[in-house]
Amino acid sequence: MVDTFKAYQITKTDDGQQVTLTDLNEQDLMDGDVTVKVTYSTVNYKDGLAMTNSAPVVRKFPLTPGVDLVGTVISSDNARFAEGDSVVLNGFGVGEVHSGAYAEIARLKGDWLIAKPDALSDRQTMAIGTAGYTAMLCVMALEDQGIEPGDGSILVTGAAGGVGSVAVMLLSKRGYDVTAVTGRMKEADYLKSLGAAEVIERAPFSEKARPLARERWAGAVDVAGGNTLANVISQIRYNGAVAACGLADSMSLPTTVAPFILRNVTLYGIDSVMAPLDKREKAWQRLVADLDLDKLESTVSEITLAEVPAAAEAIMRGAIRGRTVVKIG
C-alpha cells in the first residue's frame, strides 16, 4: 500500500452533495477482503447520475463513486484471488453504497470479483465495462428466446451510447440485421460502421404508444424505458422479445398487456448489478469470442481521473458517443 492515493469523494451536507478529488489513505478504505490497485475505470450513465447528483444513486457518505474497474490485486484474504491477479468489478452496489472505481486503490469483497479474461488488456476490459457486459446479457436473453438471425431485424435504442454501440457490434457480428435508433442522426455513419444496416430517428418513439402497432422487429434491446419502450413493445413481431436494461428516458412503462397476450411478446428485464458470478463469467467469455476489438477501439475515448466530472456532465446531456475509459493514476 502507498501512504496516500488519489480518489474522488462524494460528501453530503445541509448545502447538498459535494464532489472532490482528494488524497485518501488506507484508513479511508471500506471493508473487504481484496485490495486492488485500479488501472482503468469507465464512465457509465449511472456514474453520471452519481457525479452530478441527478438522482439519488449514492446512498452512503462519504463515498468514492465509479461502478466499474479493472486492476491488480495488492493483497487478498480471499481464497479465489492472490497478489498479482488481474480482476474485474461490475456492480454489486459499488459506487452506490460501497466505495468504488474513481480511486487509485479500492478495497472490495472477493465475491464481487471475476478474473480478467486473458485475451483482453485492462484498457479493452473497461472499454467493454458494464455497458458492454450489459449489452451481452441482452443478446443472450434474445438468444434464450430462440430469436435467430433469419427471424428479422433487431432494434437497438440509444444506439450511439455505450450499451447501444456494443449491442450493435455484437448483434451484427452474430449475423443479425440491426436497426439502430438514435436522437443524433449525425452519428448514422458511425453506427453503420459498427454494423447497423439501418439508422432511424428516435423522435417517433418518444410519442405516446398505441397498444398495438405494425409488427416490425423480431426483437429489441432497449436502454430508454418510458414511451420509447412502450412503442418498441407495440411493434415487436409475434413471439418476439425485448431485453430492457435502462431508463434513460423514464422509469415508467405506459403500455397495455395486448402485445404480451395477443402477440406472445416477452419482456426480459436485464440486471447487470446483482447478476450471479457464473452468468457474469459466461457473458465475459462470450464478449471475448463475439466482440470485434478493432471496432470496439473505434468507439473509445480515453480520459484522466481529473476529467471525470466533465465526462459525467457530458453523458447526462447525451453528448457521449460510444465508450469513455478512465485511466487511473
pLDDT of residue 163: 95
Q: What is the dihedral of CA 55, 61, 62, 67, to 10 degrees?
A: -50
pLDDT of residue 16: 85
What per-residue string of b and e applies to 290-313 under the rule 16 or more CB within 10 Å gives b?
ebebebbeebbeebebebbbebbe
Q: Which residues, 6 or more positions from 227, have their beta carbon under 8 angstroms from its beta carbon?
A: 205, 206, 207, 208, 209, 249, 250, 254
- The DSSP annotation for 36-72 comes to EEEEEEE--HHHHHHHHTSS----SSSB---SEEEEE
pLDDT of residue 190: 96
pLDDT of residue 14: 85
The DSSP bridge partners found for residue 269 are 244
pLDDT of residue 2: 73
User: Domains in the chain and their CATH numbers?
Assistant: 5-116+299-327 (3.90.180.10), 130-269 (3.40.50.720)
Q: Which residues, 6 or more positions from 112, have their beta carbon under 8 angstroms from its beta carbon?
A: 89, 91, 92, 94
pLDDT of residue 15: 83
- From first to last of the 329 residues of the chain, give the pLDDT tens digit: 678 999 999 999 888 889 999 999 999 999 999 999 999 999 999 999 999 999 899 999 999 999 999 999 999 999 999 999 999 999 999 999 999 999 999 999 999 999 999 999 999 999 999 999 999 999 999 999 999 999 999 999 999 999 999 999 999 999 999 999 999 999 999 999 999 999 999 999 999 999 999 999 999 999 999 999 999 999 999 999 999 999 989 999 999 999 999 999 999 999 999 999 999 999 999 999 999 999 999 999 999 999 999 999 999 998 999 999 999 97
